[in-house]
A and B are shown apart, each in its own frame.
Chain A
């Protein structure tokens, strides 16, 4: 397993525990991190990226201990934070080249070949000479993924890479992330349940700083089997009116309820319980 986390804790101040004894593993493929706001997803991603150090517990990344082998891990890591920033004056090529130098690619010719390779991989070859500030939000995110792919990292961490993107861009990202995950470990933190369902081989659902579920999307979906129904009125833990005018509900179904095949989203909401109600406002 590329990532092995046991009993991880991280607190901000005395009263706020972002992670509270989290344990999970992740291997080659796309691994999803789901959870509501404040569940600890970004904190976990930042810990895995070695931006933060945990207060307790253990981590092994690519077989190494980040406490003592941080540099070795960073050489095999790619990271796209939730809000990546780009130097104002850089073009796409210049920025990715700048990062490539910081990834210790000293040989200019080889470095430029690698920069062109990753820019091509994310579909930005035609705009590589453009200033990043002139690009759309989706294209800027792709610049971020390009820099994360430099040097063929074995572990790629993506924090909310599709947030704020239109559906077309999100589809492009799914294709891109799916390709990235073919032969490396990708950990994808996201709110977008559809992305998890479409992309991820495994998913971890975080709740209150701990793992509420770890398994495949199909196993997650199965949690809601027998707990999802359609009806004329609201019921259960959570209910909403569908486009057909009926209510879709999750929870403990009443007698004679018309059960339906659950989605991953149904299972996620069922798992979150109270947290889902709060999120639903």
Chain B
């Protein structure tokens, strides 16, 4: 066996998947849209986070979903669909690691923005401490987790859309649907201040500062619901998006359908239990 052939046959399945995932993660992280998302989030933070205790709290928990999450969705969608759009699927399709493994690697790559998001929150927390920026209160772990979870979910959903809806405009349409859903659930039954309703936490863009010690909302009897179960709800959505993405190409349909079923259970139960 030649040296080159030894190289080919040398990698275990997990080693190869890890190498694929790292490669795809790097592609996603350096994608211009991901970089734009991180920049937009940074600008939003820089503009608001030192404007008082309420904005300081809000900016540590909320803006990641909109400013960073939406670009991550599109970046992941473009990275996942790059081979198809380039007409490279036939050339890549005969390689030992085929499309199913590539989709799996892309799903793992979505943890890249998640980890960067966690690091960004940690850095921001450090900056608050270093600059003496007082928060309304320090967010709970669940509240802090929601931003990065939304980044993860955005990445996984972007990959899923690339596999299931590979048509021009499908990703834009799906984002319009998601934003519309968020607006509807945020405001349905709104009878309190700040335009929030009892189904607020069914959305992904939850400003937890809304139900801080705001006298008007408390006086109106607004009960926000459980931020802990909201984090579990978001995790369930991520699991579902990941299962959906992999189901498109995997031969293990039963396994990934089962994972999808579990995710639906998590979403439904946590979705109900998070509500007031």
Residue B215 CB within 8 A of the other chain: no
| Complex contact B91–A75 (CB within 8 A) | no
| Complex contact B20–A144 (CB within 8 A) | no
Cα–Cα, bound, A87→B94 (Å): 17
Q: What band does the interface of chain A fall in when counting residues whose beta carbon is under 8 Å from B?
A: 35 or more
Q: Which of B18, B19, B83 has the most CB of A within 10 A?
A: B19
Residue B92 CB within 8 A of the other chain: yes
| Complex contact A88–B86 (CB within 8 A) | yes
Cα–Cα, bound, A102→B9 (Å): 12
Contacts of A102 in B (CB 8 A): 20, 92, 95-97, 101-102
Contacts of B7 in A (CB 8 A): 105, 107, 110-111, 113-114, 151
Residue A170 CB within 8 A of the other chain: no
Q: Quick one: given A102-B20, A152-B2, are A85 and B91 in contact (CB under 8 Å)?
A: yes
Residue A108 CB within 8 A of the other chain: yes
| Complex contact B2–A106 (CB within 8 A) | no
Cα–Cα, bound, A84→B83 (Å): 11
Interface of B: prevailing SS: helix
Please, what's the 1-or-0 string for B1-42, where 1 marks a CB less than 8 Å from any CB in chain A? 010110111111001101110010001000000000000000
| Complex contact A152–B82 (CB within 8 A) | no
Residue A65 CB within 8 A of the other chain: no
Q: Quick one: given A86-B86, A104-B8, are A98 and B94 in contact (CB under 8 Å)?
A: no
Residue A117 CB within 8 A of the other chain: yes
Q: Which of B23, B85, B90 has the most CB of A within 10 A?
A: B90
Residues of A76-94 whose CB lies within 8 A of B: 77, 79-81, 83-89
Contacts of A108 in B (CB 8 A): 19
Q: Who on chain A is nearest to B10 by CB?
A: A107
| Complex contact B88–A87 (CB within 8 A) | yes
| Complex contact B97–A87 (CB within 8 A) | no
| Complex contact A75–B11 (CB within 8 A) | no
| Complex contact B94–A50 (CB within 8 A) | yes
Q: Quick one: given A86-B86, A106-B10, are A81 and B16 in contact (CB under 8 Å)?
A: no
Cα–Cα, bound, A249→B273 (Å): 87
| Complex contact B16–A85 (CB within 8 A) | no
Cα–Cα, bound, A231→B12 (Å): 67
Contacts of A103 in B (CB 8 A): 8, 95-97
Cα–Cα, bound, A48→B231 (Å): 50
Q: Quick one: given A98-B23, A101-B97, are A152 and B16 in contact (CB under 8 Å)?
A: no
Contacts of A83 in B (CB 8 A): 87
Residue A278 CB within 8 A of the other chain: no
| Complex contact B93–A85 (CB within 8 A) | no
Residues of B43-99 whose CB lies within 8 A of A: 82-83, 85-97
Q: What band does the interface of chain B fall in when counting residues whose beta carbon is under 8 Å from A?
A: 20 to 34
Q: Quick one: given A77-B94, A81-B90, A99-B92, are A151 and B16 in contact (CB under 8 Å)?
A: no
| Complex contact A106–B18 (CB within 8 A) | yes
Cα–Cα, bound, A84→B15 (Å): 28
| Complex contact B91–A84 (CB within 8 A) | yes
- Distance to closest chain A CB from B139 (angstroms): 36
Cα–Cα, bound, A83→B86 (Å): 10
- Distance to closest chain A CB from B86 (angstroms): 4
Cα–Cα, bound, A222→B23 (Å): 54
Residue A17 CB within 8 A of the other chain: no
| Complex contact B92–A101 (CB within 8 A) | no
Q: Who on chain A is nearest to B92 by CB?
A: A102
Among A79, A101, A117, the residue within 8 A (CB) of B4 is: A117
| Complex contact B9–A75 (CB within 8 A) | yes
Q: Who on chain B is nearest to A46 by CB?
A: B90
Cα–Cα, bound, A99→B98 (Å): 11
Residue A49 CB within 8 A of the other chain: yes
| Complex contact B10–A75 (CB within 8 A) | no
Cα–Cα, bound, A110→B8 (Å): 10
| Complex contact A152–B5 (CB within 8 A) | yes
- Distance to closest chain A CB from B64 (angstroms): 25
Residue A74 CB within 8 A of the other chain: yes
Please, what's the 1-or-0 string for A57-86, where 1 marks a CB less than 8 Å from any CB in chain B? 000000000000001001101011101111
Cα–Cα, bound, A151→B97 (Å): 14
Among A49, A87, A117, A150, the residue within 8 A (CB) of B82 is: A87
Contacts of B8 in A (CB 8 A): 75, 103-105, 150-152
| Complex contact A106–B86 (CB within 8 A) | no
Q: Who on chain A is nearest to B82 by CB?
A: A87
Contacts of A75 in B (CB 8 A): 8-9, 96
Cα–Cα, bound, A128→B95 (Å): 22
Binding site for A on B (CB under 8 A): 2, 4-5, 7-12, 15-16, 18-20, 23, 27, 82-83, 85-97, 101-102
What are 6 inter-chain pairs, A to B, with CB distance below 8 A? A80-B91, A84-B87, A102-B97, A102-B102, A103-B96, A107-B11
